[in-house]
Amino acid sequence: MKSLDGIKPFEKRVWLSSPTMHGEELQFMQEAFESNWMSTVGQNINELERLVAEKIGCQYAVALSAGTAALHLATKLAGEKLYGQAKPHEGTLRGKKAFCSDLTFDASVNPVAYEDGEAVFIDTEGDTWNMDPLALEKAFVLYPDVKLIVLAHLYGTPGKLSEIKEIAKKHDALIIEDAAESFGAKYKGMETGNFGDYNAISFNGNKIITGSSGGMFLTNSREDADKVRKWSTQSREDAPWYEHEEIGYNYRMSNVIAGVVRGQLPYLNEHIERKKEIYHRYREGLRDLPLSMNPYDKNNTEPNFWLSCILIQEEAMSPIVRGEREYLYQSQKGKSNPQEIMEMLTRVNAESRPIWKPMHMQPIYRMNSFVTREGNGRGRTNAYIDEGEIMDIGADIFQRGLCLPSDNKMTEEEQEKIMEVIKRAFA
């Protein structure tokens, strides 16, 4: 165990990314309480939908209970558009494949399974840690009938949208844009949440702004917005009684939650600026260590810098083996690994997190197809091919990467102490 002598633990835990509240949130929640609009209708919802659509630059926003709900209804809508209306109790994808980001949280891809589809995972590129356009193009060679792409922007950094949209256009495929982590980020001057045929953002408790929960479906189609709004309220028909002709869901956002997000929204740019400062302070303070920060395209993108992450250089990695729930590593002088750094940060009462474990490595999706730029990657057992080139980029980032404490309320002094802990890990 490497020494942390002289470094006292934080009295209060330093979080990865916790809510940053300002006070206006309480005002809008109080209005919901006093007006007795405590359900899934009310002024907070109406105003929040208007404000978010205005911020994103789209025509319509539908407030839902979670980003996952938005992704589910986007997937259902895409399946219906591609394959027609499903029978009751049948998913709209009904056995069809969809190309999905591999390095992401499973909420991005689970809706494909909800709608009875099969995810085909597309490997990651190293420039932004998002879906690799070359691997996507290879996937269309292997599976030319696929008509749906589910694209996530990892940790608030937009992917290579121009290239992916061009590929989608060439193959007449629809795009679901999972901008859950990237609200406020821009690609070529345009807000993420505008690039897919169907788009989603999240207001979960750890996101750049939060309602404690909640999400939004974003679109320029009034027909799609109306359909999602109907589905989200149990698909009630326009009748004097509760009439239902199709399956619906209890996915509408609460007016109370909408009040919290409404109070947070004016602080979005401030939160982004603070996250950006944290990112650049890490990059500067850790520049002499054998690691790099999560990358982004400085010419085309403006991330929201939701989470600051590091990637340890291969030659500086100490040996580590991960099982499904356990791990084993060897501590070595001058080297480290993500688990060792996590343990050291825990000792000083700071939260960190491994990079998302790629979807193709998850037990639930291990039998699904996985495509790299070299071809079908299923059956490979590590991140390298025989020639020594990295084949599975996502697995390699998971192996060597770590999400650092990125909380808006973290002081410069606290961040300096965290960086000192990371330096001790390589001592």
Other C-beta atoms closer than 10 Å to the C-beta of 266 total 12
> Mean pLDDT, to the nearest integer, of 340-352?
98
- Contact partners, residue 98, CB within 8 Å, separation at least 6: 75, 112, 117, 118, 119, 120, 146, 148, 149, 150
- When the pLDDT of each residue in the chain is averaged and rounded to a whole number, the result is 95
> Is 7 a domain residue?
no
Instruction: Decide: helix, strand or coil at residue 242.
Output: coil
- Backbone angle region of 334, left / alpha / beta, with phi > 0 → left and psi within -120 to 50 → alpha: left
Confidence of residue 390 (pLDDT cuts 50, 70, 90): low
Using one digit for the tens of pLDDT, what is the confidence trace for 400-422? 999 999 999 999 999 999 999 99
Q: Do 192 and 166 share a domain, yes or no?
A: yes
Q: Do 192 and 240 share a domain, yes or no?
A: yes
> Is 5 a domain residue?
no
Confidence of residue 385 (pLDDT cuts 50, 70, 90): very low
> Mean pLDDT, to the nearest integer, of 104-125?
98
Q: Do 245 and 292 share a domain, yes or no?
A: no
> Is 13 a domain residue?
no
Confidence of residue 376 (pLDDT cuts 50, 70, 90): confident
pLDDT value of position 1: 86
- Contact partners, residue 110, CB within 8 Å, separation at least 6: 68
> Mean pLDDT, to the nearest integer, of 347-375?
96
DSSP states of 265-280 as a string?
GGGHHHHHHHHHHHHH
> Is 412 a domain residue?
yes
Instruction: Decide: helix, strand or coil at residue 113.
Output: helix
pLDDT value of position 391: 73
> Could you tell me what percent of the chain has a pLDDT over 70?
97
pLDDT value of position 89: 85
> Mean pLDDT, to the nearest integer, of 66-94?
96
- pTM of the entire structure? 0.95
Q: Do 293 and 164 share a domain, yes or no?
A: no
354 neighbors 338 (Cβ within 8 angstroms): yes
Q: Do 284 and 228 share a domain, yes or no?
A: no
Among 76, 160, 207, 227, the active-site one is 207
CATH number of the domain within which 226 lies: 3.40.640.10
Q: Do 273 and 260 share a domain, yes or no?
A: no
pLDDT of 423 strictly over 50: yes
> Mean pLDDT, to the nearest integer, of 127-155?
98
Distance separating alpha carbons of residues 201 and 67, to the nearest angstrom:
6
> Is 17 a domain residue?
no
- Give the residue from 266, 298, 332 where a domain finishes: 266
Using one digit for the tens of pLDDT, what is the confidence trace for 266-294? 999 999 999 999 999 999 999 999 999 99
Q: Do 211 and 353 share a domain, yes or no?
A: no
Q: Do 190 and 238 share a domain, yes or no?
A: yes
Q: Do 291 and 323 share a domain, yes or no?
A: yes
pLDDT of 381 strictly over 60: no
pLDDT of 387 strictly over 80: no
Active site residue 207: yes
Q: Quote the tokens at residue 40.
A: 């899934």
CATH number of the domain within which 353 lies: 3.90.1150.10
**What is the total count of domains within the chain?**
2
pLDDT of 389 strictly over 60: no
Q: Do 307 and 248 share a domain, yes or no?
A: no
pLDDT value of position 210: 97
Using one digit for the tens of pLDDT, what is the confidence trace for 170-197? 999 999 999 999 999 999 999 999 999 9
> Is 292 a domain residue?
yes
Confidence of residue 377 (pLDDT cuts 50, 70, 90): confident
- Contact partners, residue 217, CB within 8 Å, separation at least 6: 61, 62, 64, 70, 73, 74, 198, 199, 200, 225, 228
> Mean pLDDT, to the nearest integer, of 63-91?
96
Distance of CA 258 to the CA centre of its chain: 21
> Mean pLDDT, to the nearest integer, of 362-367?
96
Q: Do 323 and 346 share a domain, yes or no?
A: yes
> Is 6 a domain residue?
no
> Mean pLDDT, to the nearest integer, of 138-160?
98
Confidence of residue 382 (pLDDT cuts 50, 70, 90): very low
Q: Do 283 and 244 share a domain, yes or no?
A: no
Using one digit for the tens of pLDDT, what is the confidence trace for 37-67? 999 999 999 999 999 999 999 999 999 999 9
Confidence of residue 378 (pLDDT cuts 50, 70, 90): low
- Give the residue from 239, 266, 293 where a domain finishes: 266
> Could you tell me what percent of the chain has a pLDDT over 90?
95
Using one digit for the tens of pLDDT, what is the confidence trace for 206-225? 999 999 999 999 999 999 99
> Is 312 a domain residue?
yes
Provide the residue range defining the domain that includes 279: 268-372+380-425
- Give the residue from 231, 266, 301 where a domain finishes: 266
Tell me the chain's radius of gyration from C-alpha atoms.
Answer: 22
